[in-house]
A and B are shown apart, each in its own frame.
Chain A
């Protein structure tokens, strides 16, 4: 029996878990090739990312932007749209937040910080509405558009950070935002900041919107079957545009968090592909907000533990990139895990 529900089905939970296990097994082969003990290497990797307050804090800090971009991709996907543009959206959002952060002074934090965050969300949402409109009104495929919009976002922010808002001496970066626009650090020296609370709020909000509101019902209806949605009086084009706006706003929060909580300023091309990682996070999280959370934490943990593993063993940190890639491959090859589950049932 198949249930369409706001909760994930057992298969939707098992597949990603099996994928992760398989990826770690294949990763073990690479560790063996390097001449290390896989169990030892993995112990170092995970004990340094999941045990102890500072390790967990570091993991959560790396997970925070991935939660945002993962939610962004998942939200658009629920409306049948593949948003590859989270990267561009987060740059534009970050830039808008920084502009508010550096331009206004002398206002209290309770006003300044929300203003900066909202400015970022508006910019990201607006940016994403362009491919949304092109798709809804002209039928231009959003994959092409969002990718192209990424390049525009890179070079637009390149210009702004080296031109009008250049604030560094030799480096391409803006001035530091006023303290009143910063997200506070929670466990120094880790860079975990109050952005994590925004991320958790976003998870709850996305869940609520998708499954408990009329808007979410329409979004999902359009995502599953646009012609039936149309029959039900739902405007396909309006929902597509709105889904992109929400998606863009969510993606931009990743940039906002990085700027206001981690770097304190906009640094040219600061994002280590956070937007693209969001696609992987959404895929592993089965486009579900809760799944996105766990996928983001896993990726955050891998990145955090990688540094320790690099330092303490002969395994290079790039191994975690391989593992991430393998996870995605196994998740995408759903048929493979399905067969594995079936074989085990039979045995």
Chain B
């Protein structure tokens, strides 16, 4: 196969960092080429250069053998390059086909040719197997459909090279399967696809070749069939990585935590948790699987005292816990890694030391007589935790906003784990982290389990649920719709439960998704 696209010696510098360092990359016509790397490795920068959003400081782009200058997205589109961003660029109140034609409306005597446009969109949708209801408003369709719409938009503009930027990040397992089917259809019809991802499993499944970036440099390009997951992981991280979480079988002890018939409304007054009952023993991890927005967050916030419990009981060691308030819950040795570390978990403008006492700042030794802070104790606490949890850079005076996501999460973990929690809630504990940090956080969670803590793990990542949990419960529309020991769980079974189906029953994605909205 000939090369449809060649990037030669691309270099892009931002103040203080070389985002792309002399990258050369060939893309063959009609292949699915995966571009993988950790956060900040430069894959998005490289694609943004190709799409004309950034201009490279050095280097050349050859399209179909000809040297091409792309300085703005319009030129990229004219050259048959389409890009689907992680965050969709859609006008929500408009219909699907209006969104497709937006910016390149077909005209007929000075008016927009809506009829013709609709026919064209429907034709494309059928040809490539992109199921989208063309007359629906964007705000009413599922995320999976919105993504297909974005792909349609690119195809409508005659894209021959399609860049998909982390397309699976927002999808359920079923939707991911459907996307892969679409990608295979597109490939059959001759479209070249560049697939950006940091999920190695997906790359192995769908791509023909894979290029790995690390710290702005191209580590190498491999034929997917000739490489392996461990090899790719090592190329990404630069050292050997444990892909599977190493853990012993759980040794559950006595029941320490339970909720019964929990009902919670969110801040707008909508009932989001509709009668959940759970039990957690010491030394075990209960994983809550589910598509985000099915009440997991509200359940967790009710347990941690941030949201009011409307009905039902929460027990820790037999004592009721509901509606005690966040401070009292903390004092009961309940650790909590919140879903959104910037909004909930950290005060980004505070330094490390002050963040390390958040929630414990009212307790000795951090505060002494007359509510005066004990600066020495605060400093010693931070220094100890920074070393123990390998926070980098190890500067406790530095503002937390300047740390990487992985190190920010380490700060939270250090704070929450340091008080020897009896019960621990980890909500999306590795969201947005790179492989190295994920490995670290996972081993810390297992460590807490082995020390006897009961752990409630909430994650949208099925891989994470499956590799950490000892038992798994699936949450759907505010209810627990299934629970099983890890030995009986598999991706298919969980995926179907997550979409409201029965375990084992395979349901198509679309109709059910509408229900989750």
Q: Which residue numbers of A lie inside 8 Å of B, CB to CB?
A: 1-5, 212-215, 217-218, 220-221, 224-225, 227-235
Contact A233 B347 (CB under 8 A): no
Interface check B138, CB cutoff 8 A: no
Which has the most chain B C-beta neighbours within 10 Å: A1, A2, A224, A225?
Answer: A225
Contacts of B305 in A (CB 8 A): 233
17 chain-A/chain-B pairs, Cβ below 8 angstroms: A1-B395, A1-B402, A3-B399, A4-B349, A4-B351, A212-B373, A214-B372, A217-B354, A217-B373, A220-B350, A221-B358, A224-B350, A231-B326, A231-B344, A233-B327, A233-B328, A233-B359
Closest approach, in angstroms, between the C-beta of B122 and any C-beta of chain A? 45
Within 8 A of A (CB), among B16-73: none
- Specify which chain B residues have a CB less than 8 angstroms from the CB of A5 in the assembled complex: 351, 397
Picked from A217, A227, A233, A234, the residue with its CB within 8 Å of the CB of B344 is A227
Q: Which of A3, A217, A225, A232 contacts B326 (CB 8 A)?
A: A232
B330 within 8 Å of A (CB atoms):
yes
How far is A341 from B375 in the complex, measured between Cα atoms in Å? 34
Partner of A2, one of B344, B370, B401: B401
Whether, in the assembled complex, B243 has its beta carbon less than 8 Å from a beta carbon of chain A, the answer is no
Q: With A1-B402, A213-B371, A217-B354 known to touch, is A225 a contact of B348 (CB < 8 Å)?
A: yes
CB-CB under 8 A from A227, the residues of chain B are 343-344
A4–B371 CA distance with the chains assembled, in angstroms: 21
CB B393 to nearest CB in A, in angstroms, measures 9
Contacts of A232 in B (CB 8 A): 326, 330, 358-359, 361
Among A214, A229, A233, point to the contact of B373 (Cβ < 8 A): A214
Q: How far is the CA of A229 from the CA of B344 in the complex (A)?
A: 8
Total B residues in contact with A, Cβ cutoff 8 Å: 37
Contacts beyond the supplied A217-B354, A230-B326: 13 A-B pairs with Cβ under 8 Å: A1-B398, A212-B373, A214-B361, A217-B361, A220-B350, A221-B350, A225-B349, A228-B345, A228-B358, A231-B306, A231-B345, A231-B358, A233-B359
Residues of B within 8 A of A212 (CB): 372-373, 375
Whether A4 and B354, one on each chain, are in contact in the complex, defined by CB atoms closer than 8 angstroms, is yes
Least CB separation from A2: chain B residue = B399
Q: A224 and B349: CB pair below 8 A?
A: yes
Minimal Cβ-Cβ distance residue in B for A225? B347
Bound state CA distance, A221 and B354, in angstroms? 9
Min Cβ gap B381→A in Å is 14
Indicate whether A4 sits within 8 Å of B350 (C-beta atoms), given known contacts A231-B338, A232-B358, A233-B359. yes
The residues of B that contact A233 with a CB separation of less than 8 Å are: 305, 325-330, 359, 362
Distance in angstroms from A74 CB to nearest chain B CB is 16
Q: Does B346 contact A (CB under 8 A)?
A: yes
Tell which of B305, B325, B349, B367 has the most Cβ of chain A within 10 Å. B349
Enumerate chain B residues within 8 angstroms of A217, measured Cβ to Cβ: 354, 361, 373
CA distance A77 to B329 in the complex (A): 30
- Residues from chain A with Cβ under 8 Å of B304 in the complex: 231
> Known interface pairs A3-B351, A221-B358, A233-B330. Does A228 touch B325 (Cβ–Cβ under 8 Å)?
no
Are B371 and A229 in touch, CB under 8 angstroms? Answer: no
Closest A residue to B366 by beta carbon equals: A214
CA distance A214 to B359 in the complex (A): 11
Are B373's CB and A228's CB within 8 A? Answer: no
Q: Which 6 interchain pairs have the tightest Cβ spacing?
A: A233-B327, A232-B358, A232-B359, A214-B371, A224-B349, A233-B326
Report Cα–Cα, A3/B326, bound state, in Å. Answer: 28
How many whole Å from A70's CB to the nearest CB in chain B? 21
Query: Does B372 contact A213, Cβ atoms closer than 8 Å?
Result: yes
Contact with A along B331-371 (1 / 0, CB 8 A): 00000101000011111111100100011011000010011
Complex: how many Å from CA A286 to CA B146? Answer: 46
Task: State whether A221 touches B397 (Cβ < 8 A).
Answer: no
B347 pairs with A229, CB closer than 8 A: yes
Say whether B397 contacts A228, CB under 8 Å.
Answer: no
Measured between alpha carbons, how far is A225 from B367 in the docked complex, in Å? 21
B398, A3: Cβ atoms under 8 Å?
yes
Measured between beta carbons, the chain B residues less than 8 angstroms from A3 are 351, 397-399
**Complex alpha-carbon distance, A227 and B350, angstroms:** 14
The distance in angstroms between the C-alpha atoms of A221 and B372, with both chains bound, is 16
Bound complex: CA A225 to CA B327 (Å): 17
Interface string of B366-396 (1 = CB under 8 A from A): 0100111101000000000000000000010
The 8 A CB mask of B282-320 against A (1 = contact, 0 = none) is 000000000000000000000011100000000000000
Chain A residues whose C-beta falls within 8 Å of the C-beta of B344 in the assembled complex: 227-228, 230-231
Chain B proximity of A287: nearest CB distance (Å): 12
Q: Which residue of B lies closest to A218 (CB)?
A: B361
Query: How near does chain A come to B340, taking the closest CB pair, in angstroms?
Result: 8
The listed residue with most A CB atoms (<10 A of its CB), out of B338, B347, B361, B362, is: B347
- B397 / chain A contacts, CB cutoff of 8 Å: 3, 5
Residues of B within 8 A of A1 (CB): 395, 398, 402
Contact present for A228 and B343 (CB under 8 Å): yes
CA distance A218 to B358 in the complex (A): 9
Residue pair B361, A230 in contact (C-beta under 8 Å): no
Interface centre among A2, A224, A233 (most CB of B within 10 A): A233
Q: Which residue of A lies closest to B357 (CB)?
A: A217
Residues of A close to B330: CB separation below 8 A: 232-233
Bound form: Cα–Cα A221–B349 in Å: 9
Which single residue of chain A is at the shortest CB-CB distance from B341? A228
Q: Closest residue of chain A to B368, judged by CB? A: A214
Which residues of B are found within 8 Å of A214, using beta-carbon distances?
A: 361-362, 367, 371-373
| B residues near A230, Cβ cutoff 8 Å | 306, 326, 344
- Of chain B, the residue at the smallest CB distance from A220 is B350
Q: How far is the CA of A227 from the CA of B329 in the complex (A)?
A: 16
A228 to B347, Cβ gap below 8 A? yes
Answer whether A215 and B371 are a contact pair too, CB < 8 Å, given A5-B351, A233-B325: yes
CA distance A232 to B363 in the complex (A): 12
Q: How far is the CB of B89 from chain A (nearest CB, A)?
A: 28
Tell me, in angstroms, the Cα distance from A234 to B327 when the chains sit together: 7
Chain A residues whose CB sits within 8 angstroms of the CB of B350 once the complex forms: 4, 220-221, 224
> In the complex, which residues of chain A have a beta carbon less than 8 angstroms from the beta carbon of B325?
233
